[in-house]
Protein backbone atom coordinates (compact mmCIF):
# COMPACT_ATOMS: atom_id res chain seq x y z
CA UNK A 1 0.00 0.00 0.00
CA UNK A 2 1.30 3.51 -0.76
CA UNK A 3 2.91 5.00 2.32
CA UNK A 4 0.53 7.98 2.63
CA UNK A 5 -2.57 5.86 3.31
CA UNK A 6 -3.33 5.35 7.01
CA UNK A 7 -4.98 2.09 8.04
CA UNK A 8 -8.39 2.54 9.61
CA UNK A 9 -11.50 0.60 10.50
CA UNK A 10 -14.99 1.71 9.45
CA UNK A 11 -16.42 3.90 12.18
CA UNK A 12 -12.97 4.25 13.73
CA UNK A 13 -12.46 7.85 12.64
CA UNK A 14 -14.77 10.87 12.85
CA UNK A 15 -16.62 12.00 9.76
CA UNK A 16 -14.90 14.68 7.67
CA UNK A 17 -15.52 18.23 8.80
CA UNK A 18 -16.62 21.23 6.72
CA UNK A 19 -14.62 21.47 3.50
CA UNK A 20 -12.83 18.19 4.14
CA UNK A 21 -12.72 15.04 2.03
CA UNK A 22 -11.97 11.50 3.13
CA UNK A 23 -10.65 9.14 0.46
CA UNK A 24 -10.68 5.40 1.14
CA UNK A 25 -8.53 2.85 -0.70
CA UNK A 26 -10.03 -0.64 -0.52
CA UNK A 27 -8.39 -3.91 -1.49
CA UNK A 28 -11.32 -6.11 -2.45
CA UNK A 29 -9.49 -9.45 -2.66
CA UNK A 30 -8.02 -11.91 -0.23
CA UNK A 31 -8.93 -10.67 3.26
CA UNK A 32 -9.85 -12.96 6.11
CA UNK A 33 -13.46 -12.39 7.10
CA UNK A 34 -14.00 -10.55 3.84
CA UNK A 35 -15.69 -13.31 1.88
CA UNK A 36 -18.66 -12.62 -0.31
CA UNK A 37 -20.88 -14.71 1.94
CA UNK A 38 -19.72 -12.72 4.95
CA UNK A 39 -20.63 -9.32 3.52
CA UNK A 40 -23.50 -9.98 1.11
CA UNK A 41 -26.08 -9.88 3.90
CA UNK A 42 -25.57 -6.12 4.15
CA UNK A 43 -26.65 -5.54 0.55
CA UNK A 44 -30.14 -4.63 -0.62
CA UNK A 45 -32.26 -6.86 -2.89
CA UNK A 46 -31.50 -4.50 -5.79
CA UNK A 47 -27.77 -4.86 -5.17
CA UNK A 48 -28.10 -8.64 -5.10
CA UNK A 49 -29.93 -8.51 -8.41
CA UNK A 50 -27.21 -6.37 -9.94
CA UNK A 51 -24.49 -8.70 -8.67
CA UNK A 52 -26.31 -11.66 -10.23
CA UNK A 53 -26.10 -10.01 -13.66
CA UNK A 54 -22.30 -10.23 -13.77
CA UNK A 55 -21.15 -13.01 -16.08
CA UNK A 56 -17.87 -13.45 -14.20
CA UNK A 57 -18.08 -14.76 -10.61
CA UNK A 58 -14.81 -12.94 -9.88
CA UNK A 59 -16.21 -9.61 -11.07
CA UNK A 60 -19.43 -10.20 -9.13
CA UNK A 61 -17.51 -10.96 -5.94
CA UNK A 62 -15.39 -7.82 -6.29
CA UNK A 63 -18.48 -5.70 -6.90
CA UNK A 64 -20.21 -7.15 -3.82
CA UNK A 65 -17.16 -6.46 -1.65
CA UNK A 66 -16.82 -2.89 -2.90
CA UNK A 67 -20.52 -2.17 -2.24
CA UNK A 68 -20.30 -3.73 1.21
CA UNK A 69 -17.24 -1.59 1.96
CA UNK A 70 -19.09 1.53 0.82
CA UNK A 71 -22.01 0.66 3.10
CA UNK A 72 -19.71 0.07 6.06
CA UNK A 73 -17.81 3.33 5.55
CA UNK A 74 -20.97 5.41 5.22
CA UNK A 75 -22.65 3.53 8.07
CA UNK A 76 -19.65 4.26 10.28
CA UNK A 77 -19.97 7.97 9.62
CA UNK A 78 -23.75 7.99 10.02
CA UNK A 79 -23.81 5.82 13.14
CA UNK A 80 -25.88 3.01 11.63
CA UNK A 81 -25.44 -0.58 10.52
CA UNK A 82 -24.19 -1.08 6.96
CA UNK A 83 -27.42 -2.81 6.01
CA UNK A 84 -29.42 0.23 7.18
CA UNK A 85 -27.73 2.62 4.74
CA UNK A 86 -30.22 3.56 2.04
CA UNK A 87 -29.38 4.93 -1.40
CA UNK A 88 -31.21 7.04 -3.94
CA UNK A 89 -30.44 8.87 -7.17
CA UNK A 90 -29.77 12.58 -6.91
CA UNK A 91 -29.76 15.22 -9.64
CA UNK A 92 -28.72 13.80 -13.02
CA UNK A 93 -29.00 10.30 -11.51
CA UNK A 94 -25.83 10.60 -9.45
CA UNK A 95 -25.88 8.03 -6.58
CA UNK A 96 -26.67 9.65 -3.24
CA UNK A 97 -27.86 8.79 0.24
CA UNK A 98 -31.62 8.61 0.61
CA UNK A 99 -33.82 10.94 2.63
CA UNK A 100 -32.38 13.32 5.22
CA UNK A 101 -29.00 11.58 5.09
CA UNK A 102 -28.43 13.00 1.60
CA UNK A 103 -27.71 16.38 3.19
CA UNK A 104 -25.18 14.90 5.61
CA UNK A 105 -22.68 13.27 3.25
CA UNK A 106 -21.72 13.32 -0.41
CA UNK A 107 -19.89 10.27 -1.70
CA UNK A 108 -18.61 8.52 -4.79
CA UNK A 109 -17.41 4.96 -5.43
CA UNK A 110 -15.16 3.58 -8.15
CA UNK A 111 -13.67 0.12 -8.55
CA UNK A 112 -11.40 -1.61 -11.05
CA UNK A 113 -9.51 -4.87 -10.79
CA UNK A 114 -8.86 -5.61 -7.13
CA UNK A 115 -9.03 -1.99 -5.91
CA UNK A 116 -11.85 0.38 -5.04
CA UNK A 117 -11.93 4.04 -4.03
CA UNK A 118 -14.57 5.81 -1.97
CA UNK A 119 -14.61 9.60 -1.59
CA UNK A 120 -16.72 11.21 1.14
CA UNK A 121 -17.42 14.85 2.04
CA UNK A 122 -20.11 16.55 4.14
CA UNK A 123 -20.55 19.63 1.97
CA UNK A 124 -18.77 19.24 -1.35
CA UNK A 125 -19.62 17.13 -4.37
CA UNK A 126 -16.91 14.56 -5.01
CA UNK A 127 -15.92 12.18 -7.79
CA UNK A 128 -13.40 9.36 -7.67
CA UNK A 129 -12.09 7.09 -10.38
CA UNK A 130 -9.60 4.21 -10.43
CA UNK A 131 -8.61 2.13 -13.45
CA UNK A 132 -6.30 -0.82 -13.85
CA UNK A 133 -3.90 0.09 -16.65
CA UNK A 134 -4.40 -2.26 -19.59
CA UNK A 135 -2.34 -2.64 -22.74
CA UNK A 136 -3.60 -3.16 -26.27
CA UNK A 137 -6.34 -0.52 -26.31
CA UNK A 138 -6.96 1.93 -29.12
CA UNK A 139 -6.39 4.90 -26.86
CA UNK A 140 -6.91 7.56 -29.51
CA UNK A 141 -10.25 6.14 -30.60
CA UNK A 142 -11.50 5.92 -27.02
CA UNK A 143 -10.24 9.39 -26.20
CA UNK A 144 -12.00 11.02 -29.17
CA UNK A 145 -15.35 9.97 -27.71
CA UNK A 146 -14.77 11.77 -24.40
CA UNK A 147 -11.75 14.10 -24.31
CA UNK A 148 -11.82 17.78 -25.09
CA UNK A 149 -9.46 19.39 -27.60
CA UNK A 150 -6.77 20.20 -25.04
CA UNK A 151 -6.67 16.64 -23.71
CA UNK A 152 -6.62 15.20 -27.23
CA UNK A 153 -3.72 17.45 -28.20
CA UNK A 154 -1.74 16.25 -25.19
CA UNK A 155 -2.45 12.59 -25.92
CA UNK A 156 -1.70 12.84 -29.63
CA UNK A 157 1.62 14.57 -28.94
CA UNK A 158 2.72 11.85 -26.51
CA UNK A 159 5.32 9.33 -27.67
CA UNK A 160 3.62 6.02 -28.59
CA UNK A 161 5.50 4.05 -25.91
CA UNK A 162 4.18 6.45 -23.24
CA UNK A 163 0.69 6.90 -24.63
CA UNK A 164 -1.04 4.17 -22.58
CA UNK A 165 0.10 5.63 -19.25
CA UNK A 166 -0.85 9.16 -20.29
CA UNK A 167 -4.21 8.00 -21.63
CA UNK A 168 -5.19 6.36 -18.34
CA UNK A 169 -4.05 9.37 -16.32
CA UNK A 170 -6.21 11.65 -18.45
CA UNK A 171 -9.08 9.15 -18.46
CA UNK A 172 -9.38 8.87 -14.68
CA UNK A 173 -9.16 12.65 -14.31
CA UNK A 174 -11.95 13.02 -16.86
CA UNK A 175 -14.17 10.40 -15.22
CA UNK A 176 -13.60 11.78 -11.73
CA UNK A 177 -14.55 15.24 -12.96
CA UNK A 178 -17.76 14.20 -14.69
CA UNK A 179 -18.73 11.98 -11.75
CA UNK A 180 -18.24 14.93 -9.41
CA UNK A 181 -20.45 17.12 -11.58
CA UNK A 182 -22.96 14.33 -12.10
CA UNK A 183 -22.90 14.77 -15.87
CA UNK A 184 -22.15 11.09 -16.47
CA UNK A 185 -20.07 9.33 -19.06
CA UNK A 186 -21.00 8.98 -22.69
CA UNK A 187 -22.11 12.59 -23.11
CA UNK A 188 -19.09 13.70 -25.11
CA UNK A 189 -16.35 16.23 -24.32
CA UNK A 190 -18.85 18.86 -23.18
CA UNK A 191 -19.51 16.73 -20.07
CA UNK A 192 -15.98 17.44 -18.87
CA UNK A 193 -16.58 21.08 -17.96
CA UNK A 194 -13.62 22.07 -15.80
CA UNK A 195 -15.28 25.05 -14.12
CA UNK A 196 -15.75 24.73 -10.37
CA UNK A 197 -14.07 21.32 -10.07
CA UNK A 198 -10.59 20.65 -8.73
CA UNK A 199 -8.86 17.40 -9.75
CA UNK A 200 -5.78 15.70 -8.35
CA UNK A 201 -3.96 12.50 -9.23
CA UNK A 202 -4.01 9.75 -6.61
CA UNK A 203 -1.25 7.15 -6.27
CA UNK A 204 -2.93 3.86 -5.34
CA UNK A 205 -0.79 0.98 -6.67
CA UNK A 206 1.49 -0.06 -9.50
CA UNK A 207 -0.35 -0.53 -12.81
CA UNK A 208 -3.28 1.60 -11.67
CA UNK A 209 -4.30 5.19 -12.35
CA UNK A 210 -6.65 7.12 -10.08
CA UNK A 211 -7.95 10.62 -9.53
CA UNK A 212 -10.09 12.59 -7.09
CA UNK A 213 -12.33 15.48 -8.13
CA UNK A 214 -13.80 17.92 -5.61
CA UNK A 215 -16.28 20.76 -6.01
CA UNK A 216 -14.35 23.97 -5.43
CA UNK A 217 -17.16 25.54 -3.44
CA UNK A 218 -16.31 29.00 -4.71
CA UNK A 219 -12.71 28.70 -3.52
CA UNK A 220 -10.66 28.45 -6.75
CA UNK A 221 -7.30 26.81 -6.20
CA UNK A 222 -8.23 25.59 -2.71
CA UNK A 223 -8.72 21.80 -2.84
CA UNK A 224 -9.71 21.36 0.78
CA UNK A 225 -8.17 18.97 3.25
CA UNK A 226 -8.02 15.40 1.97
CA UNK A 227 -7.31 12.56 4.40
CA UNK A 228 -6.40 9.21 2.85
CA UNK A 229 -7.40 6.01 4.58
CA UNK A 230 -6.55 2.43 3.69
CA UNK A 231 -9.25 -0.12 4.42
CA UNK A 232 -8.23 -2.34 7.33
CA UNK A 233 -8.37 -5.85 5.89
CA UNK A 234 -8.90 -7.33 9.35
CA UNK A 235 -12.26 -5.58 9.56
CA UNK A 236 -15.48 -7.07 8.35
CA UNK A 237 -17.36 -4.75 6.02
Per residue in 145-156, pLDDT tens?
999 999 999 999
What are the strands of the beta sheet with 208-215, ordered from one edge? 126-132, 208-215, 197-201
Q: Is the pTM of this model over 0.85?
A: yes
d(CA 157, CA 226): 32
Angle, helices 57-78 vs 45-52, to 10°: value is: 160
Predicted confidence at residue 219, as pLDDT, reads: 53
Predicted confidence at residue 76, as pLDDT, reads: 92
Most confident of 42-46, 88-92, 100-104, 108-112: 108-112
Predicted confidence at residue 221, as pLDDT, reads: 47
Q: Which residue has the higher pLDDT, 3 or 177?
A: 177
Amino acid sequence: MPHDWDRAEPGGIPAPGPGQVHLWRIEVDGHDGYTVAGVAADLSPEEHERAARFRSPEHAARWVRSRAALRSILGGYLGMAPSAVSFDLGPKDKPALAGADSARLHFNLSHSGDLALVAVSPDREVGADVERIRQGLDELALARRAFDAEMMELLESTEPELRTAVFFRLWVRHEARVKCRGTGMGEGPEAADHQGVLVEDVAVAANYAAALAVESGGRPGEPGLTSRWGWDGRSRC
